[in-house]
A and B are shown apart, each in its own frame.
Chain A
Amino acid sequence: QSALTQPASVSGSPGQSITISCTGTSSDVGSYNLVSWYQQHPGKAPKLMIYDDIKRPSGISNRFSGSKSGNTASLTISGLQAEDESDYYCCSFAGSRTWVFGGGTMLTVL
């Protein structure tokens, strides 16, 4: 099980939109609608932002959205705010009751 591939870092200015990609294979991301995204601030537990590729848990801002095409899932944050500066991780079901995370992306709000 290889980690999903994410860019190491992305950046954007307040008010802009950014997109973080998460590339897997036809054995994980491409086979199941079970990609989730997590936000993690330093020293904190991860926080679920998106699940089932595109769904938002209750209480998560609609500025966060998920999408997927083939083996690549994406997280888009619109109307970027300073508080969005954080690490973001994707995670996918990989079959046989196993899951795999991406390497993580550091988002900097300029």
Chain B
Amino acid sequence: QVQLVQSGAEVRKPGASVTVSCKAFGYTLTNYYIHWVRQAPGQGLEWMGILNPGGSTTSYAQKFQGRVTMTRGTDTVFMELSSLKSEDTAVYFCARDLIGGSTGWSPGEYWGQGTLVTVSS
């Protein structure tokens, strides 16, 4: 069955970078766009960007432009966030887009389990 499995928790110092991975099982990675969404402690969901694993095209929320990079491997997508600040402490989720073959529809039914990134000196 379809599953997205993310990498484990990370701790970084301010100014550093972090890469979170999201491995796809049960479907062909290139057939569906992948969204990245984060959630700071006690806060709401925040859309970060979207990756087309089939063509490696990306679109990022304005807030993260210049600091985020989304890429893909064989069955895995990656989200790198640089110049980390304490405010980047959050759980980061990957989510498969709802419609295969589209150019992005909405975060769909399949989400990773989340990866906690803690930024602390």
A residues whose Cβ falls under 8 Å from a Cβ of B: 1, 3, 34, 36, 38, 40, 45-48, 51-52, 57, 89, 91, 93, 96-104
Contact = CB atoms under 8 A, between A and B. Distances in A.
Nearest to B46: A101
Given A45-B112, A89-B45, A101-B45, A36 B61 contact: no
A89 B106 contact: no
Contacts, number: 70
A60 B97 CA distance: 18
Interface bin, chain B:
20 to 34
B103 A101 contact: no
B98 A45 contact: no
Interface of B: 35, 37, 44-47, 50, 59, 61-63, 93, 95, 98, 103-109, 111-114
Contact of B45 (A1, A46, A47, A98): A46
Nearest to A36: B106
A24 to B, nearest CB: 13
